[in-house]
Amino acid sequence: MASQAAVTVATLSALFLFSACLAEDSGCEEGSCPKKLENSNVNNITVVAPPGPKGDTGPPGPRGVRGEKGETGRPGKLGPHGVEGQKGEKGAPGQKGNQGAEGLGGGAVYIRWGRTSCDEGTGTVTVYSGFAGGAYYNKGGGSNYQCLPADPEWGRYEDGTQEDSSYMYGAEYEINRNTPYDKATLHNRDVPCAVCYSLSRRAQLMIPARKTCPEGWTREYGGYLMAAYYNHSGRTEFVCMDGEPEVRPGGEGSDNGALFYPVEARCGSLPCPPYVEGRELTCVVCTK
C-alpha cells in the first residue's frame, strides 16, 4: 500500500509541474520547465506554439511544362479606318502574254434585198424574211429602206391614220426597161427581203460597182445597185439588190410607196474612164 501511495504522489507532482510550465514564463526558472513542443500532443492535450518570423524568399523554381493551347477568342471590333497613304510610283510593265485562240466573234448581219431567204450554203442562216419598205417616194420621212418582218407585233396603238405621224410604205421595183432586170417580171411588183446572219464571220461590206469580193472575204450575194429616183424630193440609201430578185406573191399593181430604181454612172466628178456614162452599176455583199 505504501508503494502505491508513493507512485500516486509522484504522478500528481509531475502533472502539477507540467501544468505550471504551461503558464506564463515568469513563473518558471530557466531549465525547470520542460521545453514547449510545437503542435505537440501530451496526454491528449493539444499545445499550439505561436508562429515564428517569416523567412527569406527562396530562389525561383524550375519553369513548368507549357499548357495546352486555348480556344480562339472572338474577333474584336473593327478599328477606325487609317489615313490613306500616298500613291506609289507606277510599276514597270509586265511581259506580254501569249495570244489567245481566235474566237468566233459576234457574227455578221446584213439584208439580202429582193430575196425571201439567205444562201445557207455559205454558212449563213436566215434570221427572218419579210417585205421591203420605206418612206413615200416624193415625201418626207425616213431616208433608209427597211426590211419589215412578215409577222409584226403591236404595242400601244390607235387605229386610223394621224396627220402628225411619219408613214411606212411598202416598196416596189421600178424597172422601165429590160436592163439590168426583165421589165415584164419585176416592174411595179412588191419587193421581198431577208435578214441574214453569218456566225463564223464578224464583218460585212457592200461594195458598189463590183461583182467580186476582196481576197480573204466571202461573197454572200451580188446584184445591182438601186435607190430612189434622182429627181424625186425624197431620198433613200443605196442598196444592193439581188441579181436574181424574187417578188412578193400578190404584190402586183402600181401602189408606189417606197421605190427602187437602178443606179447609173454619170461622168464629171465621177471619172470616166474607168466609169462609163449611163451604165448600170453592179454591187456585191461580202463578209469576213
CB count within 10 Å of CB 247 equals: 18
* CA-closest candidate to residue 278, choices 257, 268, 263: 263
Domain assignment present for residue 263? The answer is yes
| Structure confidence at residue 103 (pLDDT) | 53
Q: How many domains does the chain have?
A: 1
CB count within 10 Å of CB 80 equals: 5
CB count within 10 Å of CB 240 equals: 26
Q: Give the rounded percent of residues in the chain with a pLDDT score beyond 90.
A: 45
For 167-219, the pLDDT digits (tens) are: 899 999 999 999 899 999 999 999 999 999 998 889 999 999 999 999 999 99
Can you tell me the mean pLDDT for 225-235? 89
pTM of the model: 0.61
Amino acid at 15: L
Q: pLDDT: is 164 or 112 the higher one?
A: 112
Q: Is the pLDDT reported for residue 284 higher than 90?
A: yes
| Structure confidence at residue 134 (pLDDT) | 94
Query: Which cell is 258 given?
Result: 417606197
Q: 41 pairs with which residues across the strands?
A: 46
Domain assignment present for residue 204? The answer is yes
d(CA 199, CA 57): 93
Domain assignment present for residue 37? The answer is no
Query: Which cell is 273 given?
Result: 474612164
* CA-closest candidate to residue 118, choices 47, 193, 229, 189: 193
Average pLDDT, the chain: 82
For 90-135, the pLDDT digits (tens) are: 888 888 877 655 555 578 999 999 999 998 877 899 999 999 999 9
Domain assignment present for residue 112? The answer is yes
Q: Is the pLDDT reported for residue 161 higher than 90?
A: no
The 3-state DSSP composition of the chain as helix, strand, coil percent (nearest 5) reads 10, 25, 65
* DSSP per-residue codes, 150-169: SS----S--SS--TTS---E
Q: Give the rounded percent of residues in the chain with a pLDDT score beyond 70.
A: 81
Domain assignment present for residue 193? The answer is yes
Residue span of the structural domain in which 222 resides: 108-152+165-287
